[in-house]
Amino acid sequence: MSGWTKKRFWQDVTVVQTTAGFTVHLDDRALKTPAKADFIVPKRSLADAVATEWQAQVDVVKPDEMPFTRTVNSALDKVAPAHSHVADLVADYAGFDLICYRAETPQALIDRQAVAWDPLVSWSARALLAPLNVSFGLMPVVQPADSLARLRRHVHAMSTFQLAALHDLVALSGSLVIGLAAARNHLEVEDLWNLSRVDESWQAEQWGDDETAIAEAGIKREAFFCAHSFFDLCK
């Protein structure tokens, strides 16, 4: 729709096939994005997920409970007009990927990071043909130009909707490799999320849990899972 409606005004939510894809109708009104673009998605399964979100609204529309709708809006209003630019922003994470920056001390953390992230570095080299260098401490690491170019091509090859989901997977995890691993279902999404939280888990073990940090992590985890589901629905 054009903007968010505060009160539910519709009775029925239906998925309608068009010549361009699938859209969602609230009674006889087709959804529009906040920028008033036609709300058209490429897959029936994705339209069904959006329709389920709208049907679940009771009296007041709660955008925070509609992640698929929000991501479609982002794909159509933000990614579609600037696909190459957004792809570059996502691909740039390869230059400072989380899994390539390791602690110098203590040894227990070094070992934990190695167990968690070395297999992802190996997977990047094998599956993505993008070997990556690892750095210890605060010094920046220079990645092979060929690897960066291949990773950039992987990102640019994605559709508008896939790229919108990948953006969230990468931004939430801090790792392009983890984001691509999620997109390709290389590991279970829960495992990938935990791999992105190695440092935070270590800190919590050393200093105790922080309620605010736990709440924020929970929100990010849910968003990561939703982005993964969204990407799967775009395949």
For every residue of 68-84, DSSP letters joined together read HHHHHHHIIIIIGGGHH
Residues of the chain with CATH 1.10.3580.10: 82-233
**110-162: per-residue pLDDT in tens?**
999 999 999 999 999 999 999 999 999 888 899 999 999 999 999 999 999 99
pLDDT of residue 7: 82
Range(s) within the chain of domains with CATH label 3.30.2180.10 = 1-62
5 falls in which pLDDT band (50, 70, 90)?
Answer: low
Helix, strand and coil content of the chain, in percent to the nearest 5, comes to: 60, 10, 30
Question: Quick one: pLDDT at residue 8?
Answer: 84
- Structure confidence at residue 2 (pLDDT): 43
**Whether residue 1 has pLDDT greater than 50:** no
Least confident of 44-48, 137-141, 218-222: 137-141
Tokens (6 digits) for 66: 């509609």
Q: Domain 1-62 - what CATH class?
A: alpha beta
| Beta bridge pairs of residue 14 | 25
Is the domain defined by 82-233 classed in CATH 3.90.1010.10?
A: no
Contact in structure between 72 and 46 (CB atoms under 8 Å): yes
Q: How long, in residues, is the chain?
A: 235
Cα 161 from Cα 140, distance rounded (Å) = 32
User: Higher confidence at residue 151 or residue 60?
Assistant: 151
Which amino acid appears at position 163 of this protein?
A: L
What average pLDDT does the structure give for the chain? 95
